[in-house]
Structure 1
Amino acid sequence: MHDGSDSDTPPVEAVMMRKRRKGIYILPNLFTLAALFGGFYAVVMAMNSRFDMAAIGVFFAMVLDSLDGRVARMTNTQSAFGEQMDSLSDMVSFGAAPALIAYEWGLKGLGRWGWIAAFVYCACAALRLARFNVNTSVVDKRYFQGLPSPAAAALVTGFIWIMTDLGIPGPSVAWPMFALALYAGLTMVTNVPFYSFKDVHMKKSVPFGVIVLIALGIAVINIHPPTVLFSLFVIYGLSGYVVYGWRRAKGIQTSVISTSTDEPDERGLHK
């Protein structure tokens, strides 16, 4: 007996489920996947003793990582999936990859000290990314809490890039590499404030002179990319301690945490 309803019409529940089903935004995640490829490429190049190309792979990942979040915000395509994907990509490109490249390039000759330095760097990158995800809502947006992982990766791989370009073998500068890996790793998990550049708005108009300065900056980088880029990140890697010391001297609060998190064990870290 026909009940008067159209049997070809899908149930209301099925229609509502289809409407609620969410997909994945393509554009920002393409940048994230490309950044992940940069980190993977860097590891493969290090395995083949192409350490200059490995460093370039990490810097390539860094550029793309700086774009995916901005693209997501500009196109209003932010998502929880994208945030998690970005963190996983960062762990590969700026955590595991630099540690493995540094170990293969120069730390291997130090024996257990070499892999300890590489592991400390990798572990600190993981801790820094986890803390960043937890404290996103309570950190002053103008600053990073600790050295950001892309900048730490730039310090490690930038040093390797310069030494390789100069023809200096990794084992001969293993101890400087050891010290730099520890510095970059441990600075990631400090509470030292590093300027985030997040208050620079790309949508706002700027004076013509700013564009000229950007063009000059690109020209300067092209003079000798390894030296210029490494020098810039050395300055940035030290800038946080300068800001920290200046704030302490002025009696200004040094912590970039605006309020305490719900994690009771972390409250002591925010002082």
Structure 2
Amino acid sequence: MNIKAQIPNLFTMLNLFSGCVALFFVSVEQFDLAFYFVCLGIFFDFFDGFFARKFNVAGPLGVQLDSLADMVTSGVVPGFVMFKLLALACNQEEINYAMSHNGIGETHSSIYSYLLWLPFLGFIITLGACYRLAKFNIDERQSDSFIGLPTPANALFFTSLPILSSVLYDDFGFQFSYNKWLLIGLTLISAYIMNAEIPLFSLKIKNFSFAKYKLQIFFLAVSVLMLILLKMLAVPLIIILYVLLSVINNIVTKKASV
């Protein structure tokens, strides 16, 4: 057995294992630990490709394993997080309604029966991630850049939302995670932007050329600064910044080529 050939696959399996552990923590609503294990999975996901290129052992098995592991860590986990957030939002809405109508025991099931099924819309994120990963495997245009938001970035955005909501509530008394329509809107945007024909710059820096990678270097520098200043609040903002910078870069590049 070629040991070197199995090192990337080992990192891929560690990515998958991290995603499985994250699923457990989402199920018991320990969202902070789920977020950390998703981060760990993405870390392993980066290094499976790194070692595959370094040892020149990239192959079809590794490609399939990588997508299957990403499907869990960056597909199922964020979908499950949104399911949980929507369930909590719906439960809170039902409690608020009951308390304003003569006690908790007097809910109107005819009005709120849809709340039982609404949380399942969160798994639209999982469906979008699955479609994105399948497209990525057969799209030869995405070797040096991305088209559509990568699933790991999408996973970081959604797994950070419960923590962000908790921080905002503790500091400002603002609880956006109980707004089910906002959550559904983010879910639909997520499924779209992962599969949209929007070129996004790659963060792979193959050599230290400032002229060639000035956009990537600027993004990484701003991201580090935001993490230092804002801590957890920075995570979703960094993902939004990544998309905005890519769109601006596309516009500038298109105008320059005209």
- TM-score w.r.t. the length of structure 2 is 0.73
The structure-2 alpha-carbon separation of the partners of 1:216 and 1:185, relative to structure 1 and needing over 3 Å to count, comes to: closer
Partner of 2:63: 83
Q: How do 1:77-116 residues align onto structure 2 when only pairs under 5 Å count? A: 77-107=57-87, 109=90, 110-116=115-121
Task: Point out where structure 2 has 5 or more consecutive residues left out of the alignment.
Answer: 91-114
Once the two structures are superposed, what CA deviation does each residue of 1:122-148 show, in whole Å capped at 9, x if it has no partner?
11111111111111xx30533211111
Return the letter of the residue paired with 1:165: V
The structure-2 alpha-carbon separation of the partners of 1:222 and 1:36, relative to structure 1 and needing over 3 Å to count, comes to: farther
Deviation at 1:153, TM superposition (A): 1.2
Q: Are 1:151 and 2:153 matched, yes or no?
A: yes
Asked if the contact 1:121/1:186 (under 8 Å) is kept, the reply is no
Deviation at 1:55, TM superposition (A): 1.8
Deviation at 1:249, TM superposition (A): 5.4
Once the two structures are superposed, what CA deviation does each residue of 1:26-84 show, in whole Å capped at 9, x if it has no partner?
32122111211221111100111111211222222222212210121112222221111
Once the two structures are superposed, what CA deviation does each residue of 1:166-217 show, in whole Å capped at 9, x if it has no partner?
346675233222222211211111111011123x11xx4679xx9xx97996
**Residue from 116, 128, 138 that aligns with 1:124:** 128
Asked if the contact 2:136/2:142 (under 8 Å) is kept, the reply is no
**Residue from 192, 195, 204 that aligns with 2:201:** 195
Return the letter of the residue paired with 2:123: F
Q: Are 1:134 and 2:138 matched, yes or no?
A: yes
Partner of 1:182: 188
What secondary structure sits across from 2:83 in the alignment? helix
Distance (whole Å) between structure 2 residues aligned to residue 221 and residue 82 of structure 1: 32
Identity %: 25
Once the two structures are superposed, what CA deviation does each residue of 1:214-248 show, in whole Å capped at 9, x if it has no partner?
79965752554311222111111333443444456
Return the letter of the residue paired with 1:128: R
RMSD of equivalent CA atoms: 3.1
Give the total of aligned pairs: 223
What secondary structure sits across from 2:146 in the alignment? strand
User: Which deviates further from its counterpart, 102-111 or 146-155?
Assistant: 102-111
What secondary structure sits across from 1:166 in the alignment? helix
The structure-2 alpha-carbon separation of the partners of 1:171 and 1:161, relative to structure 1 and needing over 3 Å to count, comes to: closer
Distance (whole Å) between structure 1 residues aligned to residue 223 and residue 185 of structure 2: 30
Return the letter of the residue paired with 1:72: A
Asked if the contact 2:84/2:119 (under 8 Å) is kept, the reply is no
The structure-2 alpha-carbon separation of the partners of 1:179 and 1:128, relative to structure 1 and needing over 3 Å to count, comes to: same
Q: How do 1:36-51 residues align onto structure 2 when only pairs under 5 Å count? A: 36-51=16-31
Larger Rg: 1
Asked if the contact 1:193/1:243 (under 8 Å) is kept, the reply is no
